[in-house]
Amino acid sequence: MKHWIWALLYCSVLSIVTVTNAATGPSVNAVAAALINTKTGKTLYSKNANAVMAPASTTKIMTAILAIEKGNLEDKIKISSRAAAMPGTRMGLRPGEEQTLRDLLYGLMLSSGNDAATAIAEYVSGAEDRFALLMTSKARELGMKKTTFKNASGLPAVNHYTTANDLALLAGYALKNPVFTEIVQTKVASITNSRSNVTRSLTNHNKLLWQYPYTTGIKTGYTRRAGKCLVASATQNDTTLITVVLKSGTMYNDSINLFDFGFQTTLEKKIQEITINPPVQ
């Protein structure tokens, strides 16, 4: 009798859940995408996930985790003229200014500061090209076989590339670090210019933190070559999912569709397991 009750429960819930699960999976506009469950390590969805792509500022995930592992968060870093002059998105650093590594990491991951990326690279390795070698070495250590880094920011460069699968692998590794996790889920932070004593307000570029209630990070990216990119994480109950969408015209919608699909798929599996092995009363 109990088995019949659990079977009926499974069929009832499954009939509701699978209405939104088309046989082809979620709607994804991105050229390449990946969805993984961090607990099981299983891939729940894949689209051109091994295609070599330009990563844009999702590169900064590797920059951040290496800085956290190699540096001291309270070290004060003097900003070089080269770092302060970096083009593209910036946190507004000035030559000669001093910032802690911790504050530079917030500028890196919230404001997507290319100036912060270069300053961090120079702090860790003395020069950005040497830091890029360290980034690629770390990528190989993590099993990112189709990734090569040439800079710390993700600005366009020859032979600077990755894949959706490799970025998902990197994100899963980085999320194990509590400092990294705290930074990437922060919506707004404030830091103070050591020279002018002026406080800067940094707002996270990742709008998914406001749009999707379970979001816990991670990093946006954009260049003309790479298009719009997003590596994102979300946690519901005891399940954490990571999505990667590269060259997407609708990166937030893509990520939400992937998360919804992933959480529904996980729920279906849990219900099925309960049905097959009902709890003993």
pLDDT value, residue 192 = 82
Q: What residues have CB less than 8 Å from 276, skipping those under 6 apart?
A: none
List the single range of 63-77, 206-220, 254-268 with lowest mean pLDDT. 254-268
Cross-strand bridge partners of residue 35: 45, 243
Q: Annotated active-site positions, please? A: 57, 60, 112
CA distance 165 to 55: 12
Average pLDDT on 7-13 reads 41
Residue 19 has pLDDT above 60, yes or no: no
pLDDT value, residue 266 = 86
pLDDT value, residue 272 = 64
The type of residue at 55 is P
Q: What is the mean pLDDT of the chain?
A: 90
Task: Tell me the per-residue pLDDT of 164-186, one tens digit each, with 9 for 90 and over.
Answer: 999 999 999 999 999 999 999 99
Could you say which DSSP state residue 80 is in? P
Task: Tell me the per-residue pLDDT of 88-137, one tens digit each, with 9 for 90 and over.
Answer: 999 999 999 999 999 999 999 999 999 999 999 999 999 999 999 999 99
Domains and CATH numbers, the chain: 31-250 (3.40.710.10)
pLDDT value, residue 190 = 93
Token pair of 189 as six digits: 């932070």
pTM as predicted: 0.89
Q: Would strands 188-192 and 227-236 be described as parallel, antiparallel, or unpaired? A: unpaired
| Percent of the chain's residues with pLDDT above 90 | 81
CA distance 121 to 134: 10
pLDDT value, residue 178 = 98
Residue 196: band (very low, low, confident or very high) from pLDDT cuts 50, 70, 90 = confident
Residue 278: band (very low, low, confident or very high) from pLDDT cuts 50, 70, 90 = low
Average pLDDT on 9-28 reads 52
The more confidently predicted of residues 259 and 281 is 259
Task: Tell me the per-residue pLDDT of 55-86, one tens digit each, with 9 for 90 and over.
Answer: 999 999 999 999 999 999 999 999 999 999 99
pLDDT value, residue 5 = 39
Q: What are phi and psi of 239, to 5 degrees?
A: -115, 125
